[in-house]
Amino acid sequence: MNTKSNRLLRLPEVATMTSLGKSTINLWVAQGKFPAPTALSSTIKVWRLEDIEAWIDKVCVSGGAPHLQAEPR
């Protein structure tokens, strides 16, 4: 088991890694634009480091966050 890829992150760490605000992360999760967290309890939500890194890679390759992509005309 790879310890790094199985690391769990809380919202402040995810916000720091992505340079997004906490409310933006929560909104994008609700809109399906950002990986959903796993609920460890009713008050504790975590993301896998691997999922956040994959999202960052996807954003960098596609040239921007999903909501910023131009709509085809």
- d(CA 62, CA 43) in angstroms, rounded, equals 33
**The two structure tokens encoding residue 9:** 């992150």
The full set of domain ranges for the chain reads 8-62
Residue 67 has pLDDT above 80, yes or no: no
Q: Residue 32, by phi and psi: left (phi above 0), alpha (psi -120 to 50) or beta?
A: left
What pLDDT, on the 0 to 100 scale, is given for residue 62?
77
DSSP 3-state assignment of 8? strand
| Number of residues assigned to the chain | 73
pLDDT band at 38 (very low <50, low <70, confident <90, very high): very high
**DSSP class per residue in 28-57:** HHHHTSSPPPEESSSS-EEEEHHHHHHHHH
Q: What mean pLDDT do residues 63-67 have? A: 64
Q: Which residue has the higher pLDDT, 1 or 8?
A: 8
